[in-house]
Chains A and B, each alone.
Chain A
Amino acid sequence: MCVGIALAWSELPTDLIRRHNLERRVHDRGGEREVRFLYRDRQPRLPIWRDGRLQIVRWGNGRDQSRLLPPTGWTWQATVEDGYWRNLDAVLVDIPAALGFERGVWFRIRQGIRGVLVPDEHGVAVAYMICEPSSHYYQIMTRSSRMPILIEERI
């Protein structure tokens, strides 16, 4: 499972950075600052594009904040296609990402990752990353059996 993403600092509006206290997620790589969103963070968050606006929302339900939503941060594409999320008023969203992180491997993502956004019983927006079975290459690179669905790209 892709357990983290990174975005260049310059990709995020200052307003969002301040509002969500993203400074603490900043890392330096090759002299360029980037913001890392990791699932293992005590407050896992994901950036999403919704209605043309970039937002920062909760990533999944790993800490059982909701009884309604599944206690994970990912969902299979097949589950989405089967209509599981339809009854929960979920919408499809894009998760912008420059890099993905899985089993210690940072890999380049050109556009982003597909996700679903769903409100929990308190009305809080929660994002899940959509996955599919790994490609041969991705499986060898990360030793993971599932990979995120990348936007207009296949690793």
Chain B
Amino acid sequence: MGHLDADCFYVSAERVRDAFLVDKPVGVLGNQGACVIAKSYEMKAAGVKTADPIWEALVKCPDGIYVKRDFRWYEVLSRLMRDLVHELSPRVEYYSIDEFFFQAEVRGGRTFQDLAEAMRDRIWERIGVPVTVGIARTRTLAKLISDAAKPHGALAVIDEDEVEQFLAVQPVTEITGVAGRRAARLAPWGIATCLDLARADRRLVRKLLTAAGETLWWELNGEPVQAIHSRRPAHKALSRGGSFGESTADPMVLYAWLVRNLERLIEELRFHDVAAGRLTVMVQYKTGHTGAGGKSLVVPSDRFDVLLETARPCLRQAWMRGVQATHMHLIAENLAPRGQCALALFDPPSQRIQAEAVARVKEQINDRHGRFTLRSAATLYLPSIYRDTANAYDICDIRGKICF
């Protein structure tokens, strides 16, 4: 199994098209300019962390250069990377925008180490993005190895003794999904390193970390349990949303965000040809509280009018009057194939046909003239969001990847 991960991907992507940024401390700003979503190693050395608000990053790294995120460009490079990984591997999992798992195969006297180096070098030479590649017997091991080999490393660890030596110096918290509470649960049993976890009794690990922990146990012991998914499994839920950039307590602005996120969600439902059976609206507040409202639909739907009628009371439930809200998420669950949904008893066919026609026209116009060219008038409360074309595209709009 192989794992390939780009090194500070968004910054590297900016450097591909702008050599001025090479070797300088660079931060990519997201959340409409409010916080650092990626930083270069130079900026990291100054103490800046991902998700730091810009005013904190400025204190830590006054010489940092800040650039606006461009997910559309990052996706272009991401898909190029995926194609290159495919050249050297028959099965590739598009895990996230800058992370891939692949089936490692070698022929003609080449070694796994050769393969790891070839993959790293090919991506660097052809795309200009530095990546790190790890190869091992399992996904978990491959990821651990590539994380340890960063930046721009290539390492294959197959031999059991070498694996053991490697695991002995890796804290257990290096494993994705083992941090905080889980690590605290393991500590009383003397499990501090990855090797401790691998050597622990399997039943104990299952007891402490449930079935997910047992999976890790098998994988750390070199038994592959997690397969590579070359196609994304069907979604169980779809969601759209994110930060407002500037917090707001204005109900009309919140409503405008609800409509914006709903329009994005409907695009996604229609792309996957599914209808939502349940809708949840979550609003996060500056105080740290989260409000949520959810409602099941009588029959699954992807119709704007129906879903808006469902979302509105959900927002009322999630709303805290006078409190500054910072984020909103809309989650569609109980997804059903669109063509197989039953019809609602009190939904006149004419209304349904009309709604479908409107949705198609909206889709066609937006396909031809740009996203959000035709949109609900309720979103007019967010003029600056729609004026800035960078907001027409968000990271979660990238299709095909497995991670969220």
Contacts and interface: CB of A to CB of B under 8 A. Distances in A.
The secondary-structure label for the interface of chain A is mixed
A101 to B, nearest CB: 10
Interface residues of A, number: 21
A144 to B, nearest CB: 11
B18 interface: yes
Given A30-B42, A140-B246, A106 B29 contact: no
Interface string B362-404: 0000000000000000000000110110100000000000000
Interface stretch (B61-69, B132-140, B143-151, B167-175): B61-69
Contact of B67 (A8, A108, A140): A108
B355 interface: no
Interface string B107-141: 00000000000000000000000000000000000
A82 to B, nearest CB: 23
B25 interface: yes
B24 interface: yes
Contacts of B242: none
Contacts of A8: 20
B58 interface: yes
A44 to B, nearest CB: 20
Contact of A30 (B25, B33, B34, B385): B25
Contact of B34 (A98, A107, A140): A140
A106 B23 contact: no
A104 B62 contact: yes
A10 B246 CA distance: 39
A136 to B, nearest CB: 3
Most buried by A among B23, B54, B62, B246: B54
B66 A141 contact: yes
Interface in A26-60: 29-32
Interface string B42-59: 100000000000100010
A151 interface: no
Contacts, number: 64
Contacts of A99: 65
Contacts of A141: 29, 33-34, 54, 66, 68
Given A8-B20, A105-B54, A108-B20, A137 B66 contact: no
Interface of B: 18, 20-25, 29, 31-34, 42, 54, 58, 62-68, 245-246, 384-385, 387-388, 390
A98 B18 CA distance: 11
A135 interface: yes
A148 to B, nearest CB: 15
A137 B33 contact: yes
A106 B388 contact: no
B65 A31 contact: no
Given A31-B23, A107-B66, 15 more contacts: A30-B22, A30-B42, A32-B23, A32-B24, A106-B66, A108-B66, A135-B384, A135-B388, A136-B388, A137-B32, A137-B68, A139-B33, A140-B34, A141-B29, A141-B68
A108 B18 contact: yes
Contact of A140 (B33, B65, B387): B33
A135 B29 CA distance: 15
B54 A137 contact: no
B245 A136 contact: yes
Interface string A51-77: 000000000000000000000000000
Given A8-B20, A137-B388, A105 B58 contact: yes
7 contacts: A29-B24, A30-B24, A108-B66, A108-B67, A137-B390, A139-B33, A141-B33
Contact of A136 (B25, B29, B62, B384): B384
Contacts of A140: 31-34, 245-246
Nearest to A110: B18
B66 A105 contact: yes
Most buried by A among B31, B63, B64, B66: B66
A85 interface: no
Nearest to A141: B33
Most buried by A among B23, B33, B34, B54: B33
B68 A155 contact: yes
A123 B350 CA distance: 76
Most buried by B among A104, A136, A140: A136
